Amino acid sequence: MSDDGSVVECCVEGSSMRRLVTIPLLASVVLGALSGVFAQETQPGKSEEDNGYAQISIFAKALELVRQDYVDDNKTSYHDLITAAMKGMLSSLDPHSQFMDPSDFRDMQDDTRSRFNGLGIEVSMKNGLPTVVTAMEDTPAAKAGILSGDQILRINGISTERMDLQDAINVLRGPAGAKVTLTLLRPATKEIKEYTLQRAEIKIQSVKGARLLDAELTGPFKIGYIRLIQFNEPTAEELSKALDDLQKEGMQALILDLRNNPGGLLNSAVDVCAQFLPPNTKVVSTQGRVASQQHDYSTSGAKKERPNFPMVLLVNEGSASGAEIVAGALKDLHRAVLVGETTFGKGSVQNVMQLPDGSAVRLTTAKYYTPSKQVIQGNGVTPNIRVAMTTEQERSLFALRNAGNIKPEDEKNIIKTKDAQLLRAIDALKGVMIYAQQSAPKAEAVKK
């Protein structure tokens, strides 16, 4: 996010004497603000040349030279220059660390509350380009057919090659009603296509599609289906209600669809795991450089009791972050079978630290580890049963999810012909339940 650390002007540019005086004064102001950092200046493994005071002095000198000699005076305010420096510093670390000015920080807070203005695209930097993690359903991006993995080459005709992630997000988001033109490359097909989309107010309903699947697909068994769109503040509560309703209808097994779920809040993901695991069960851990970043995250000590029904999670390349935490935990703890494709691989922890002016810094401080100590970052979570989907099948599913009131018969036909992953999940659950039925009489006979 951002550090908007504005620096007080302490001289009038002009004479060389003034300039010599200004540099140490400015350096002392910046150093004073960062004294907590320099208190740990001599860290193990750091060379003597990596000296905070010396480097800040060089930075201060460069800053004053820009302010004195750069051709366009309207670009040389301390605020603008230091903001740009902060953006560059954070973005040089990794694709997920970033600087946010106050308006960017407010947008991020709105996002976690399931409401913002934009196109409905979750993006991350991959191979140097803004890349679509997922196009959230019921949004302009999903309705246009944008898919996970699409690379954004241009936004409104401007190349994204040297654009940092926050700048790209700022263009994608904005007032509802405005149009944005995207040029996308789809790596799977090498197809380049241009989309003109109109921003809208995005209201994300975390839990969708909760229902018992059609008996023609599930046979004699009642298999529930729930789709999680994102992990936001109300997600766990909404999921709990959906599970209560399905259990009242006699649900015997569950398919939890995390495909194209870009993640969200860590606590929300842990609370979702709590719906299916015993109390006080560790579901994810974080490890970073400092002791404060070593954490184990466990389910709550108090939870609603639920039957230990058979369960499948659907995952794909668009399943990221919080979705990968849930998938990794339920797989490692043998609570669910994963069906689909390897997930995105976004498994690093970002702490958001607000600064005095309302801006904030988002800083990667640790990595996520599944209960079996598997690293999510860069690797993703691999499914137990791998089932690939073609681009044409994915497009058909997007069309189904964004079609509004679709007839049950049409939905069933699309599932049969296009959703190989869901069909495979149904078959897996049917096999488990058939085996359980056949084993039950034998177990009863042994007891007698």
The catalytic site residues sit at 321, 332, 346
The helix or strand, by DSSP H or E, that contains position 253, with its residue range, turns out to be strand 253-257
DSSP string, 93-122: T-TT-EEE-HHHHHHHHHHHTTEEEE--EE
| CA gap 101, 109 in Å, rounded | 13
Q: What is the 3-state secondary structure (H, E, C) of 161-209?
A: CCCCHHHHHHHHCCCCCCEEEEEEEECCCCEEEEEEEECEEEECCCEEE
Q: Which of 56, 54, 89, 68 is nearest to 9 (CA)?
A: 68
Which structure tokens are listed for 300? 């709550």
Check: CB of residue 86 under 8 Å from CB of residue 206: no
Q: In the structure, how many helices (H) and strands (E) does the chain have?
A: 14, 19
| CA gap 257, 260 in Å, rounded | 9
CA-angle at 357, arms to 87 and 116, nearest 5°: 70
Check: CB of residue 84 under 8 Å from CB of residue 7: no
CB atoms within 10 A of CB 335: 18
Q: Which of 329, 323, 319 is nearest to 297 (CA)?
A: 329
178 exposed, middle or buried (CB, 10 Å; 0-12, 13-18, 19+)? Answer: exposed
| CA gap 371, 284 in Å, rounded | 6
Identify any residues that bridge with 129 across adjacent strands, giving them in sequence order. Answer: 126
> Rounded to 5, what percent of the chain is helix, strand, coil?
40, 25, 40
Check: CB of residue 315 under 8 Å from CB of residue 293: no
